[in-house]
Amino acid sequence: MSDATRKPSVLFIADACETSATLNSKEFNDKFDILRCELDTKEEFIRFLEEHEKDKITAIYGGFPAFHKIGGLNRDIIEHRSFPRNDLKCIVLCSRGCNGLDLDALREYNIQLYNYQDDHDEGLIDDLKIHEVGNDVADCGLWHILEGFRKFSYGQKLARETGNTIVARTNAAEKDGFAFGHELGSMFIESPRGKKCLILGLGSIGKQLACKLQDGLGMEIHYCKKSEESSISGSKNWKFHRLDDTIYAKLHQFHAIVITLPGTPQTKHLINEKFLRYCNSELILVNLGRGVILDSQAVSDALTKGQIRHLGVDVFYHEPIIDEKIKVSDKLTSITPHLGSATKEVFEQSCELALANILRAASGEVAEDKCFSRIV
């Protein structure tokens, strides 16, 4: 086949949903040839590109891992002679983040970058489930909050170890005699009902979580951001607090604080020794945002000294590594390995949106003012 008649190719560096309607459609397969590359090292990726220089790679499907395994997509790779700068129109991701990609270099070479978003319906796919990620991550937050109050997982661990309900409850109470089950050493098992929860950040995840905590667990919802959302404060009866230094004096009233903020220079180490010093000693702290928002040493010290009741995390400071001090304390912590949005529904929908963006970019149908998922 001559270069002139060769179809453009889509390079998959991550697995797409095999049952995807778009991936298996006649339109997609008539337009593109499919290439697959399992990323292992930067050198092997470059070698793959060298071997496929004639394949007119017009799009790269990054999925969820994207270029993480080879240290990101930096300018050195983008400007390598074998990188398909002249043919490549877009890179699509299934995650919301774009860490590790050199956005300036992509912009310079007019390579579009799309990530996942479901806050707006861009009309790309049928039956888009709005706020699907927010809903599913909120489920994860709900579990961590419940763990902090009820300690079900620790009770399950003791039940499995002892094979006896009475012995499991007695061991949890750490004393002789009958144990009702409401004691865990010097700690009491409590209901979340009527307790106050502060949500830091009120995007899709924060809003979905607030609804679940209010309607499902009966908690009183407070939220903290730079400015008030008056319609929400009124209709939901959620109480607003400004995200500035005035928040410190208010922290003592909350039994739970959930972080749903993005990781930025402004939010790095937001939860530090000073912040924790103002908190209730019965605080349940849950991080669904980014690992760097927590000052790891300050949080570890607070747990060790009994300054907070529980830490729940779905994100980690040195991800994918789980902090050792968090890992070993199963009585005071709950851990999920960054799987807040890891559901079949999100996997399938993110794949469909990514593939639809490839079709859109390849056809040139980019409405700049309406394309919410386009980063570059």
Catalytic positions, written as ranges: 290, 319, 338
**Calpha distance 140→156 (Å, rounded):** 18
The CA–CA distances, whole Å, from 18 to 8, 21, 92 equal 21, 9, 17
SS3 state at 258: strand
Pairing between strand 220-225 and 196-200?
Answer: parallel
End-to-end CA distance of the chain: 33
Best CA proximity match to 229, nearest among 241, 218, 217: 241
Beta bridge partners of 223: 199, 240
Is residue 298 a contact partner of residue 273, using CB atoms and an 8 Å limit?
Answer: yes
| CA angle centred on 196, ends 193 and 199, rounded to 5° | 120
DSSP letters for 178-234:
---S-EETTEEP---TT-EEEEE--SHHHHHHHHHHHHHH-PEEEEEESS--HHHHH
**Calpha distance 90→374 (Å, rounded):** 10
Beta bridge partners of 197: 221, 256
Enter the DSSP assignment of 322.
P
**Calpha distance 288→340 (Å, rounded):** 8
Enter the DSSP assignment of 13.
S
DSSP letters for 42-86:
HHHHHHHHHHTTTS-EEEEEEETTTTGGGT-B-HHHHTSTTS-TT
**Calpha distance 106→67 (Å, rounded):** 14
Structure token digits, residue 170 = 């007695």
